[in-house]
Amino acid sequence: MHYSFTLHSLEELVEKAPEIAQVLPSSGVIVFKGEMAAGKTTTIAQLCKAWGVEDIVQSPTFSLVNEYRTKSGETIFHFDFYRLEDEEEALDMGYEDYFYSKARCLVEWPEKIPTLLPSTITLLTITSVNGVRHIEIDVPQLSQ
């Protein structure tokens, strides 16, 4: 399934986040693609809030992965692979234990680990033109 959202402000992202969160699968790998400063981490923070995460959501740039819990006890893993030099670093951190769990895994900079991504992923692409964010989501049929 394909979904499209156009957001003109952060306030609009806050308003639309619950709607966007509803179309995303409850488990599996969701990759976030976009240029630097496109709003990947901001979008992830609002999605986590919509899913019931009360903790502060920050980019795990240095730790590579942050773990969040929703009010209902669901686990969400948030990855930022921007600083990876090669895929070996993801292997060393045990990425597969996360990706193949029943948790929702949110991945920033998936371009850094192209051969390690599962064959079935949800793709969320963010582009920004003149301050307007466009979010395109492709959800594989199997994860519905």
> Per-domain residue ranges for the chain?
2-143
And the tokens for 116?
């390690």
Architecture of domain 2-143: 3-Layer(aba) Sandwich (3.40)
pLDDT tens column, 69-126 = 999 999 999 999 999 999 999 999 999 999 999 899 999 999 999 999 999 999 999 9
Average pLDDT over residues 55-75: 91
And the tokens for 16?
């639309």
pLDDT of residue 62: 80
**Residue pointed to by tokens 């990759």:** 31
**Rounded distance, CA 130 to CA 34, Å?**
15
pTM metric for this prediction: 0.92
pLDDT of residue 33: 97
Average pLDDT over residues 36-54: 94
**Please, what is the average pLDDT of the chain?**
93
And the tokens for 57?
């959501």
